[in-house]
């Protein structure tokens, strides 16, 4: 249920209403809309009588929200969320470019890639330390040591870090990580979602290989219901009958998610296509479709990458992608 409060309402009147609702066992979240407060009610609101609430002098309107996701719902928060990733903003017109290798492989590799992508305009550095691999015999990542190498690259460039967490027990190791990535395979690992929801770190939530948008929104709700509002969605392609590409990029997810939720949406054209030559056109299409950012895999030597080489761009290719993506953004803005 949401309650839109009249513009002229005084703070103490809003407090009285909030306290009354809390007395009924309802949790009340407040957001500021266009100069007026919006109260988002979560809990068993069935017992709350709309007629009764409407009679409070300060109440402009009362509406029931039928969707099961509440905190992630744009109805609770009409304006775009702007998420601050340790100084780098994303959402509400702020466009972020997350780039780096699939996996951290060595100090030289992560530093070289970090400096190159930053010079081309990347605003956040990615790199996997704990890798979810289909085969247990494949490279599993440098784990804790990989995180240390990421911290060295962060110190050298000042770029906030994005890296995947697979196990809540590892959280203490992620202290200097700015954005916790929940990978596609863990999108419905509810205990992990709840654990990152109890932190104050930004969470990049990737869509599962075969998950609906409603399920993705409910996963965001798991994180947010624990108190962490800093969630960013990532569309990274879904599994369909098509095998030419690694996955099928669902660009309509950008529009759909932004209609349903106020949270930012990033597109990952690398995992969506699995092919380096498709990253540029899909990145441009994502920017045109209104994505709030991109996540792109870049490697200094893709042919010898320990993970996801075929979809990794060289720094030179990445540089061109950023230029063309920015040109698309400018062209779209010019028509607004």
Q: Which residues bind ligand PEP (CB under 6 A)?
A: 102, 128, 132, 183-185, 206, 236, 271
| Span 84-113, contacts to Mn ion by CB under 5 A | 102
CB–CB of 160/124 below 8 Å? yes
Pairing of strands 161-164, 124-126: parallel
DSSP class of residue 212? -
Hey, what are 198's tokens?
């109890």
Q: Answer with the entry of Mn ion, ligand PEP, none that 236 interacts with (C-beta below 5 to 8 A by kind).
A: ligand PEP
Task: Tell the smallest beta-carbon distance from residue 268 to Mn ion (Å).
Answer: 9
Hey, what are 141's tokens?
């990542």
Please identify which residue in the block is written with the tokens 């466009």. Answer: 95
Q: Answer with the entry of ligand PEP, Mn ion, none that 94 interacts with (C-beta below 5 to 8 A by kind).
A: none
Residue 260 within binding range of Mn ion, rule CB under 5 A: no
By rule CB under 5 A, what count of residues binds Mn ion? Answer: 2
Task: Tell the smallest beta-carbon distance from residue 9 to Mn ion (Å).
Answer: 49
Q: Which is nearer to ligand PEP, 197 or 208 (CB)?
A: 208
Q: Which is nearer to Mn ion, 3 or 234 (CB)?
A: 234
Q: Which is nearer to ligand PEP, 146 or 183 (CB)?
A: 183
DSSP secondary structure string for all residues of 254-274: HHHHHHH-SS-EEE-HHHHH-
Tell me the residue nearest to ligand PEP as measured from the CB.
183
Task: Tell the smallest beta-carbon distance from residue 102 to ligand PEP (Å).
Answer: 5
Task: Tell the smallest beta-carbon distance from residue 131 to ligand PEP (Å).
Answer: 7
Task: Tell the smallest beta-carbon distance from residue 123 to ligand PEP (Å).
Answer: 17
| Span 290-319, contacts to Mn ion by CB under 5 A | 308
Q: Answer with the entry of ligand PEP, Mn ion, none that 206 interacts with (C-beta below 5 to 8 A by kind).
A: ligand PEP
d(CA 186, CA 167) in angstroms, rounded, equals 10
The crossing angle, in degrees rounded to 10, of helices 276-288 and 315-334 is 20
Q: Which is nearer to ligand PEP, 128 or 264 (CB)?
A: 128
Task: Tell the smallest beta-carbon distance from residue 270 to Mn ion (Å).
Answer: 7
Q: Answer with the entry of Mn ion, ligand PEP, none that 70 interacts with (C-beta below 5 to 8 A by kind).
A: none
Q: Which is nearer to ligand PEP, 14 or 238 (CB)?
A: 238
Q: Answer with the entry of Mn ion, ligand PEP, none that 132 interacts with (C-beta below 5 to 8 A by kind).
A: ligand PEP
Task: Tell the smallest beta-carbon distance from residue 183 to ligand PEP (Å).
Answer: 3
Task: Tell the smallest beta-carbon distance from residue 271 to ligand PEP (Å).
Answer: 4
Phi, psi of 164 (to 5 degrees): -80, 140
Contacts of 298 (CB under 8 A, 6+ apart): 99, 100, 101, 113, 116, 117, 122, 312, 313, 314, 315, 317, 318
Q: Which is nearer to Mn ion, 235 or 308 (CB)?
A: 308
E strands along 158-292, which residues?
Answer: 161-164, 179-182, 202-206, 231-235, 265-267
Task: Tell the smallest beta-carbon distance from residue 59 to ligand PEP (Å).
Answer: 43
Q: Which is nearer to ligand PEP, 20 or 139 (CB)?
A: 139
d(CA 198, CA 227) in angstroms, rounded, equals 6
Hey, what are 11's tokens?
């703070």
Q: Which is nearer to ligand PEP, 160 or 183 (CB)?
A: 183
Q: What angle do CA 125, 129, 130 make, to 5 degrees?
A: 130
H or E element that contains 152: helix 143-157
Q: Which is nearer to ligand PEP, 71 or 271 (CB)?
A: 271
- Please choose, from the candidates 332, 291, 259, 317, the residue with its C-alpha nearest in 3D space to the C-alpha of residue 99: 317
Q: Report CA torsion sign: 160, 163, 165, 169.
A: negative
- In 3-state terms, what secondary structure has residue 93? coil
Which residues make up the interface to Mn ion (CB under 5 A)? 102, 308
């Amino acid at each position: 249920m949401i309650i839109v409060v009249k513009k002229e309402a005084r703070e103490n009147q809003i407090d009285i209403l909030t306290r009354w609702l809390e007395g009924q066992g309802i949790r009340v979240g407040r957001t500021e809309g266009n100069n007026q407060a919006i109260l988002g009610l979560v809990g068993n609101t069935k017992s709350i009588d709309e007629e009764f609430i409407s009679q409070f002098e300060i109440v402009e309107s009362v509406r029931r929200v039928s969707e099961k996701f509440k905190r992630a719902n744009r109805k609770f928060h009409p304006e775009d969320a702007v998420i601050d990733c340790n100084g780098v903003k994303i959402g509400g017109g702020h466009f972020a470019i997350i780039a780096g290798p699939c996996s951290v492989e060595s100090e030289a590799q992560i530093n070289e890639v970090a400096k190159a992508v930053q010079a081309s305009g990347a605003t956040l550095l990615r790199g996997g330390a704990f890798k979810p691999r289909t085969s247990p015999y494949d490279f599993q990542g440098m784990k804790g040591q990989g995180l240390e190498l990421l911290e060295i690259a962060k110190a050298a460039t000042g770029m906030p870090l994005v890296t995947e967490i697979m196990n809540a027990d590892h959280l203490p190791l992620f202290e200097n990580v700015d954005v916790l990535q929940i990978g596609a395979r863990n999108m419905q690992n509810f205990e992990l979602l709840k654990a990152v929801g109890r932190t104050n770190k930004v969470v990049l939530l990737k869509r599962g290989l075969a998950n609906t948008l409603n399920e993705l929104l409910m996963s965001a709700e798991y994180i947010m219901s624990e108190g962490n509002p800093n969630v960013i969605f990532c569309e990274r392609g879904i599994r369909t009958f098509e095998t030419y590409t690694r996955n099928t990029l669902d660009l309509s997810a950008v529009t759909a998610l932004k209609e349903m939720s106020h949270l930012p949406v990033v597109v990952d054209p690398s995992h969506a296509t699995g092919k380096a030559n498709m990253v540029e056109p899909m990145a441009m299409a994502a920017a045109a479709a209104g994505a709030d950012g991109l996540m792109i895999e870049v490697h200094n030597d893709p042919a010898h990458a320990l993970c996801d080489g075929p979809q990794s761009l060289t720094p030179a290719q990445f540089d061109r992608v950023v230029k063309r993506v920015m040109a698309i953004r400018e062209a779209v803005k010019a028509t607004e």
